[in-house]
Amino acid sequence: MLVRPALLPELPPSPKALFGREGPLAVEVGFGDGRFTALYAKAHPGRLILGAEVSAGSVQRALRRLRREGIGNVRLYLGEGGFALRNLVPERSILEVIVNFPDPWPKKRHQGRRLLREAFFRRLSTRLAQGGRLLLTTDHEEYFRFALEEAERTGLYRIETAPPPEAHLLTKYALKWREMGRPFFHAVFTKEAEDPHPWPPIRRYPMAHALLRGPLPEALALPQAPIRFPQGVALFLEVAKGERGFYVLTHVEEEDLTQDLLLEVRQSAHGLYAGVSRLGHPLITQGVKEAVKALVGALEGMGLEVVQDHT
């Protein structure tokens, strides 16, 4: 039920690879506790529903709910909606995208964090099928107007406002706002044209490691400064010594993807291995490679010699 992108043989996977069968695709971004997802899945048993949510606690709760209710046509991804749309669904494949009560980020300086911005609508148009649509429901009038304007600016959508369908008013947040007597706003953005810029899936690599000649160092001191590269930033958070070597807790941020992963430095049959640990199945992206390069650079600075470089 939980999608682990690193374990998929290809990105994007076919709907059959993800769901075990073909069918019309729907995506819900920010599903919270999954209440709506479960209702939607039961109302549309023929559809294949992919949910994306950044909160791990919410994903746990939603998974429990879907299992309890025996729902089989939903897959959940723990991470950004943008990542799911870019990497987990084929181009021009989505019938419907649901966004219920997106975080409004009301402060002016936080508006860049809003999901429904022009760039998002443009990219979304490459993943929606012709006539596919996004359904937005919110209690936040200012964000609602903002989203309408951002979509309007793309010229790619027909936009209609209407009262929200009842099912969209049964989410956790809807019930909370209902009790407080807040108004609701709803819009349907139907794709009429497509942005000409393609949005290819993230590039991933089969490996990121190097083999070095020399003894395992006694201690490993790594740069504390962020490692910056064009697509993002990486940071060594902590180094721990184990029986076989060192483990380096590493944080990597790239567009729509944040990963905390372990790098390892340990003796192997072929020399000193410095690279990604399989633990947690990280996706080996450019950012992960940059972190490994920095690790290998630090080891070289300690006098070790690279004999094989797959970074």
Ligand X SMILES: C[S@@+](CC[C@H](N)C(=O)[O-])C[C@H]1O[C@@H](n2cnc3c(N)ncnc32)[C@H](O)[C@@H]1O
103 classed as catalytic: yes
Q: Is 59 in the site for ligand X (CB under 6 A)?
A: no
By beta carbon distance, the residue nearest ligand X is 30
Catalytic residue selected from 33, 103, 139, 260: 103
Phi/psi at 229 (5° precision): -145, 165
The residue from 13, 30, 232, 245 that contacts ligand X (CB under 6 A) is 30
Q: Which residues, 234 to 293, sit near ligand X by CB under 6 A?
A: none
Q: Which two tokens stand for residue 117?
A: 């911005």
Which segment (39-47, 53-61, 231-239, 268-276) binds ligand X by CB under 6 A?
A: 53-61
Which segment (10-18, 52-60, 182-190, 216-224) binds ligand X by CB under 6 A?
A: 52-60
Whole-number Å distance between alpha carbons of 227 and 286 = 12
User: What is the H or E stretch that residue 305 is in?
Assistant: strand 305-310
Q: Is 184 in the site for ligand X (CB under 6 A)?
A: no
Q: How far is the CB of 102 from ligand X (least distance, A)?
A: 6
Question: Which residue in 57, 126, 65, 55 sits closest to 90, CA to CA?
Answer: 126
Whole-number Å distance between alpha carbons of 151 and 110 = 19
Binding marks (x or -) toward ligand X, 114..143, rule CB under 6 A?
Answer: -x----------------------------
Q: How far is the CB of 39 from ligand X (least distance, A)?
A: 12
In the numeric block, the tokens 């992206």 are attached to: 285
Of 36 and 273, nearer to ligand X (C-beta) is 36
Q: Tell me whether strands 185-191 and 128-138 are parallel, antiparallel or unpaired.
A: antiparallel
Q: Which residues, 148 to 177, sit near ligand X by CB under 6 A?
A: 171-174
The residue from 69, 91, 103, 195 that contacts ligand X (CB under 6 A) is 103
Dihedral sign for Cα 29, 78, 106, 36, please: positive
Q: How far is the CB of 308 from ligand X (least distance, A)?
A: 38
The residue from 19, 31, 144, 157 that contacts ligand X (CB under 6 A) is 31
For residues 264 and 206, is the Cβ–Cβ distance under 8 A? Answer: no
C-alpha distances out from residue 237 to 227, 253, 275, 276, 299, Å: 12, 13, 16, 15, 17
Query: Total residues at the site for ligand X (CB under 6 A)?
Result: 20
Which segment (95-103, 140-148, 265-273, 286-294) binds ligand X by CB under 6 A?
A: 95-103
Q: Is 58 in the site for ligand X (CB under 6 A)?
A: yes
Q: Which two tokens stand for residue 61?
A: 């709760």
Whole-number Å distance between alpha carbons of 241 and 173 = 45
Q: How far is the CB of 296 from ligand X (least distance, A)?
A: 33
First to last CA, the chain: 32
Question: If phi over 0 gives left and psi between -120 and 50 gives alpha, with beta otherwise, what is residue 302?
Answer: alpha
Q: How far is the CB of 171 from ligand X (least distance, A)?
A: 3
Q: Which two tokens stand for residue 265?
A: 């430095």
Q: How far is the CB of 72 from ligand X (least distance, A)?
A: 21
- Active-site positions? 103
